[in-house]
Every structure is written in C-alpha cells, then in structure tokens.
Amino acid sequence: FWFRFLGVDTLDTVADIEKRALLAYASDFGIIGTALLPHGETWYQGNIYVVSLDHSIWFYGDFAVDDWFLYETVCPSAGDSRAVIQGKIFSQKSGLVAVVTQEALIRERRK
C-alpha cells in the first residue's frame, strides 16, 4: 500500500532521527494484517487477537518525509498462532529506504 505523512515539513527542516522515527512508527501499521489476508480476516473485526512479539527495522539511505512511500509486505510463515511478516518500504524518489520484519501472535478471541 501507498502512504505519506501529512503535516510534516520538508527534508530541510526535519532531522534524520525524526524522519526515521516517523517511518519506524508508520512501519507498524498494517503489517500484521498481511498474515490475516489468506483467511479473509482483519483485526478490526474484533474476533482476532493480535500482538506484536518483536519488530525490527533497517534503514537504507536518506529520504524526504514529504514523499510518497510504497510498503510492500509478505508473510513467509504463519502457523501455531504465530506469523512472521516482512516488509520493504520504498520512497517514490529515493527507492528502497527501509526493510522491516515483525513476528506476531495471532489468536481467535474466545467468547
């Protein structure tokens, strides 16, 4: 999916650490949903319990915070209530800017 940050300044006024903090924060949105897609489920439905067990991000190169970003995600492994999801974040202008890996606990909520 594509995303961008609204209400942020241009590259000249935002420090590198702030840009990376924004991208790290955004990298957690939607990534677990990738593991639920084959099952036709979303965590918004309320019958699925999801918890991030760990989340890692590696940054590559510089990027402008006012750019558009493409977040490509895949789930190479899911089973026994756990999933590993991997993502790549591309800047429209700069190419690959980050790689993300997240492990999640996914369970059906009991009534």
61 near 95, Cβ under 8 Å? yes
Choosing from 9, 16, 52, 56, the catalytic residue is 52
Catalytic residue among 28, 56, 77, 92: 28
What DSSP designation does 11 have?
G
| Strands ordered across the beta sheet of 82-91 | 2-3, 69-79, 82-91, 95-108, 48-59
Whether 52 is catalytic is: yes
Look up 12 and say whether it is catalytic.
Answer: no
Specify whether 28 is catalytic.
Answer: yes
Q: Which residues are catalytic?
A: 28, 52, 102
